[in-house]
Amino acid sequence: MTFAITPRNLIAVSAVFLALSVVFGVLNNQKVKSLRLSAASAMAERDRAERRRAAQERELKTRETSVAEASARFSGTESKTAKAEADLIKIQAEKADLQTRLQAKEAEIVVLHTRVEEGTTKSSVNPGAPSTVELQAQLEDARNRLDAAEREKTLLSDKIRTVPGPSFQLEEDKKRRVTAAAKSGVRGTVLAVNQAYNFVVLNLGGRQGVEPNAEMLVVRGGSLIGKIRISSVEPSAAIGDIITGSLARGVQVQPGDIVIYAGNS
């Protein structure tokens, strides 16, 4: 069986090839679109990764800056503390030196008083002694030295009174810090709650260091549920107003809740 080459056959074969080219063209077009979509998705993912990396770098720089600032503040606080302690030691040494000098001047004043009294007695008892002029000169000199010693004593006393100021302030600051640290561990229990007037009664008071206007944290099951402010203090009990803004919706303070000292408002 032979295949004759005729115009009709050529047209048919051309039509078949044309159809195949159209099919392949459509397939290639879809493949190109798929590749373009994949490339666009990859570029978008790369952009997102770059933005995440940049954000992480900014966050890291921010944290490093915060750490550096905190370290600088801590170093400054340590330097100030060391300087204050050195100043306190220096002031205490100066005070001890001034007190020693004051005591020496007081002893010198006693001796000068004694010499003045002895000189006066000798001049009155022995009026014909040959050293009257010399004795009078010594007496006058002793009186002058006595006056000078009295003035220096007064200056030393005034200076000593001015010295304790800074050390006293530092001691007071230390006492306040110790007191605040001690109070931070004060805790008690809610004995009763008056929901109508919004106050509570606590089982601790002035003996435990509770003060009016102090704030107490209210804890239940290890979680903070609100705050109260002390309004009245007795030796072994205290009354506190519930700070309603600190309570979550639907939560109320109940007897048995734990209260912890939080400081003065």
- 174-187 CB burial, b ≥16 within 10 A, e <16: eeeeeeeeebeebe
Counting every residue written for the chain, the total comes to 265
What percentage of the chain reaches a pLDDT higher than 70? 70
Compute φ and ψ for 177, nearest 5 degrees. -65, -40
d(CA 59, CA 65): 10
Q: Rounded to an integer, what distance in angstroms lies between the CA atom of residue 170 and that of residue 93?
A: 15
Q: Check residue 225 and give its pLDDT.
A: 92
Residue 47 in 3-state DSSP? Answer: helix
- pLDDT recorded at residue 152: 75
Note the pLDDT tens digit of each residue in 200-249.
999 988 888 888 998 889 999 888 999 999 999 998 899 999 998 888 88
Give the residue, 13 or 244, on which the prediction is more confident: 244
Instruction: Pick the more confident residue, 128 or 222.
Output: 222
**pTM of the full predicted structure?**
0.35
- pLDDT of 9: 77
Closest CA to 234 of 193, 206, 264: 206
Q: Which of the pair, 100 or 41, is modelled with greater confidence?
A: 41
Q: What is the pLDDT of residues 48-101, one digit of tens each?
A: 989 988 888 888 888 788 777 877 877 777 777 777 777 778 777 777 777 677
What is the DSSP-derived secondary structure letter of residue 246? G
Is the distance from CB of 208 to CB of 188 less than 8 angstroms? Answer: yes
DSSP, res 2: -
Q: Which tops the pLDDT comparison, 134 or 65?
A: 65
Q: What is the pLDDT of residue 184?
A: 56
Neighbouring C-beta atoms of residue 200, cutoff 10 Å: 24
